[in-house]
Amino acid sequence: MIWLVRHTEAEDGSPDAERKLTAKGEEDARTIAGALSRLGVESDGCVASPKVRALETARPICERLGHELTEDDRLAGGPFDAQEVAGEVGEDAILVGHDPDLSMAVHRMTGAQVRLPKGAVVGVDRGELKVLLRLEELRALCQEG
């Protein structure tokens, strides 16, 4: 399974590559990490765009799932082959990046038309869209109950 995660809310400003997460974005990144853990997601590795906001989103996810964080310039902007990027860490990988690139990757892998909001998580398994969760659903997964 390839998991695609769009970075969470970032500060405005420039240069673009150095934009950090807001306090809400940091909290949302921890929410994503908790939800993926609660879902029992297993992966072989975690790869992120080298842009600061993607790295800051990926760190708590990788830490929670016990992975080193790998940076990959192919996730920094523009079309990319998700299966190729994921294949460098294993069959099951988490890729953290940007939109519209992630939405286009989902379309290329599955044919599905999606627009991923910040913090969205998508799971694709052998060309089939299996999971699409927005922050609202991820927060609900993390609530005690």
Q: Is the pLDDT of residue 145 over 70?
A: no
Q: Count of CB atoms within 10 A of residue 21's CB?
A: 23
Q: 122 lies in which domain range?
A: 2-142
Query: Tens of pLDDT along 51-101?
Result: 999 999 999 999 999 999 999 999 999 999 999 999 999 989 999 999 999
Distance CA 12, CA 27 (A): 17
- Could you tell me the two tokens for 136? 């609202």
Query: Tens of pLDDT along 24-59?
Result: 999 999 999 999 999 999 999 999 999 999 999 999
Q: Count of CB atoms within 10 A of residue 7's CB?
A: 29
Report the mean per-residue pLDDT for the chain.
96
pLDDT of 143: 83
Q: What is the DSSP letter of 22?
A: P
How far is residue 105 from each of residues 31, 47, 61, 74, measured CA to CA in Å?
A: 23, 15, 20, 12
Q: Count of CB atoms within 10 A of residue 84's CB?
A: 10
- Could you tell me the two tokens for 74? 């192919």
Tally of structural domains, the chain: 1
CATH number for the domain spanning 104: value is: 3.40.50.1240
Residues 6+ apart with CB under 8 A from 121: 3, 4, 5, 32, 35, 36, 131, 132, 133, 138
Distance CA 74, CA 66 (A): 23
Work out the average pLDDT over 119-137.
97
